[in-house]
Homo-oligomer: A and B are copies of this chain.
Amino acid sequence: MIELDDFKEVISKYKVIFFDAFGVLKTYNGLITGVDKTLAFLQQNNQDFYILTNDASRSPAQLAAYYNRLGVGSITPASVISSGMLAREYLSLKVKTGTVAYLGTPDSTCYIKDLGLNLLPIKDLDLNNIADINALVLLDDEGFDWNYDLSKTINLLRRRNIPVVVANTDLTYPVSKQQVAIAIGGLADMLETLVGKRFIRFGKPDAQVFIYAYEQMKNYPNVAKNEILMVGDTLQTDILGGNKFGLDTALVLTGNTQIEDAEVRISSTGIIPTYICESAVIR
């Protein structure tokens, strides 16, 4: 049987904690009972923490407000790092003019607004009038009709050679204890195969989101990488990315990885967390 580490002991060794959100702090049911105590404990001890999420469907402000409504006051917009922020940085540096087409809800455009670029949902795109489209951004799996708009997207990419940015690399996400839904990252993989082009993906396990968080830290650069712990529920994103960036990593068993298959998955993938803990809840 797998031997579990005590989460309180583990986090006590680090100056800064990076948390994944889904499967670590919350589930489809809301906040995981007790994680508010963990965050309060960190705040008392002057240990900073940040939330690193591949969810680009809502803004940091919206995400922080969500936690605040659930009674977790310690999460502020400044403590949320989303892959959507990297998509925004990319566009601001690399796309100067014209129109950005997107797949996602109106809410998910929060990351790419106010850049001086026109935004156009794929559903409103006229395929006979695409000379002005200078980038495509995949933001969220909701907000469009897959039957029509995915084929429309392919036809756009066959005619315009433009950068395609994927703001969320997750393939699926849980919607109940038993069920998952296909995420925009899963649709992105299909589109990339069908058009044969390289998309630009932002989100864990890619190093860029860790660097972005690292440089946003309040005490940067006075915290070394080995003073930071990444806590996550998914080997392929949180743990692989944290390991590669040089952080210690803690796998928690409240989300994508269940206790009964943690060992098999670690051994079959070769992705090895520094610690394995039951949850991010302290006793």
Interface set of A (CB-CB < 8 Å, partner B): 89-90, 93-94, 127, 145-147, 150-151, 154-155, 157-159, 161-164, 171-172, 178-182, 186-187, 189-190, 193-200, 206-208, 211, 225-226, 236, 240, 243-247, 264, 266-272
Contacts and interface: CB of A to CB of B under 8 A. Distances in A.
Contacts of A264: 264
13 contacts: A90-B246, A145-B147, A146-B150, A150-B182, A158-B180, A161-B270, A161-B272, A189-B190, A196-B268, A198-B240, A207-B207, A208-B211, A264-B264
Contacts of A164: 270
A270 B171 contact: no
A268 B194 contact: no
Closest 9 CB pairs of A and B: A197-B270, A146-B146, A93-B246, A190-B190, A207-B208, A151-B181, A207-B207, A146-B147, A155-B179
Contacts of A226: 93
B180 A154 contact: yes
A244 B200 contact: yes
Contacts of A147: 145-147
Contacts of A247: 93
A93 B225 contact: yes
A152 to B, nearest CB: 9
Given A90-B244, A186-B190, A269 B151 contact: no
Contacts of A186: 190, 193-194
Contacts of A198: 236, 240, 269-271
A193 B183 CA distance: 13
Contacts of A194: 171-172, 182, 186
A130 to B, nearest CB: 11
A264 B243 CA distance: 27
The interface centre, meaning the residue of A162, A164, A172, A226 with most chain B CB atoms within 10 A of its CB, is A172
Contacts of A181: 151
Given A145-B147, A264-B264, A270 B157 contact: yes
Contacts of A236: 198
B151 A180 contact: yes
A245 B209 CA distance: 11
A211 B179 CA distance: 38
A216 to B, nearest CB: 13
Contacts of A243: 94, 163, 200
A211 B200 contact: no
Given A180-B154, A181-B151, A182-B150, A197 B272 contact: no
B269 A197 contact: yes
Contacts of A197: 268-271
